[in-house]
Amino acid sequence: MAGTRRGKRIAVIGAGAGGIASAIRLRERGVSDVVIFEKAGEPGGTWRDNTYPGITCDVPSHLYRFSFAPNPDWSHKYSPGPEIQAYMRKVAADYGVEARIRFNSEVLSATWREGAWEIVTTQGPEGRFDAVITAVGILHHPAYPDIAGLRDFAGAAFHTARWDHSISLEGQRIGVIGTGSTAIQVVPAIVDRAAKVSLFQRTPQWILPEPNLPIAEEKRAAYRADPALLEDQYAHLAQAFNGAFCAAVAGEAPEVYARMAQACRDNLATVADPELRARLTPDYRMGCKRLIVSSLFYPAIQRPDA
């Protein structure tokens, strides 16, 4: 019909947290013609790809959530990865996002031609779009170490983001490369099963002790019964992490920074062997690298089989 204006057609690349939120917010703004291209067979992004032993979020669960979809049923202060992945899938289903996802469709190219984006995926040409939103994240391509002879290694070798669950760890000698949050979670989770765990470190990390306590069913029931309690908890955590913590690291709250730094030093002091403690001592101030949260790593790395 002459003079009719069609609505915008939007392509979103990636069905992780960013892609799910984009589709929901676009619909709220009246944009209904949205297609999400996802390279895998289900949504979830990093929580779909990472399934290594010990995986948890290192942000408190009641802070790590979509603002429009609070979850009263988190099981722990820092909930495990499978629980977060289930939450992502539930939000995608509850808000009608899954129906807009084209799974197993990795975007190969997006070409601007005559006023629109032409998308091509592994499934072929996908048509023209007025705008493209990239929600691919930054950690979906694992970084593998360039070690001479690695390809000739006869044992199992895999990245934590591509964990091979067919490989038994029982009684094995296991090498873990890296000392980021993932390694600090993996080592305590596998040391009981392995004959020996060796951690290969480039840079030691400051580690803030924080027990991952379960959230009692009584508390979860209270959250379900009174959503205002959830919002109060979110506000409390937002102030503690987005306010006090960030301000401390940025040099705007020296007293808070001093307490956090001392907590890290006290945590490190629980390493009894002075030689091991020296190897685990960073040569930079707390906050110069992303702070790691764990109460399990130092006990695990002090075991005779680690």
One domain, residues 102 and 167: no
User: pLDDT (tens digit, 9 = 90+) per residue, 187-214?
Assistant: 999 999 999 999 999 999 999 999 999 9
Collapse the DSSP code of 14 into the 3-class scheme (helix H, G, I; strand E, B; otherwise coil) and give the result. coil
Give the pLDDT confidence score for residue 6 in this predicted structure: 64
Same domain, 300 and 155: yes
**Same domain for 129 and 192:** no
Domain-terminating residue out of 81, 110, 134: 134
- Can you spell out the DSSP letters for 109-148? EEEEETTEEEEEETTEEEEEESEEEE---SSSSPPPP--T
**54-98 confidence digits (pLDDT tens):** 999 989 999 999 999 999 999 999 999 999 999 999 999 999 999
- Note the pLDDT tens digit of each residue in 25-51: 999 999 999 999 999 999 999 999 999
User: What H or E segment, with its residue span, contains residue 13?
Assistant: strand 9-13
Q: Which of 72-86, 109-123, 192-206, 241-255 has the weakest average pLDDT?
A: 241-255
Please indicate, yes or no, if residue 285 is contained in any of the structural domains. Answer: yes
The verdict on residue 40 lying in a domain is yes
Label residue 270 by pLDDT band (50, 70, 90): very high
Pair (127, 199) in one structural domain: no
Average pLDDT for 105-111: 97
Is the residue at 256 inside a domain?
yes
Residues 13 and 151 in one domain: no
- What is the pTM (predicted TM-score) of this model? 0.91
Q: Could you tell me if 192 and 298 lie in one domain?
A: yes
CATH number, domain with residue 102: 3.50.50.60
Distance CA 299, CA 192 (A): 12
- CA distance to 12, 46, 57, 139, 255, per residue, from 50 (Å): 22, 6, 11, 10, 36
Q: Which of 103, 152, 107, 156 is nearest to 132 (CA)?
A: 107
The residue written with tokens 């669960």 in the block is 61
Query: Does residue 288 sit within a domain?
Result: yes
| Residue 1 located in a structural domain | no
**Contact (Cβ atoms closer than 8 angstroms) between residue 142 and residue 162:** yes
Is residue 76 domain-resident? yes
Domain boundary among 93, 117, 134: 134
Residues 27 and 45 in one domain: yes
Instruction: Print the domain residue range for 295.
Output: 142-306
Q: Is residue 21 part of a domain?
A: yes
For residues 96 and 170, membership in a common domain is answered with no
Residues 172 and 292 in one domain: yes
Please count the structural domains in the chain: 2
17 with 118, same domain: the answer is yes
| Residue 228, in any domain of the structure | yes
Cross-strand bridge partners of residue 112:
117
Last residue of a domain, one of 116, 134, 152: 134
Q: Is 165 found in the same domain as 299?
A: yes
Q: Which tops the pLDDT comparison, 140 or 65?
A: 65
pLDDT band of residue 250 (cuts 50, 70, 90) is confident
Does one domain contain both 204 and 249? yes
Q: Per-residue pLDDT averaged across 256-275, rounded?
A: 97
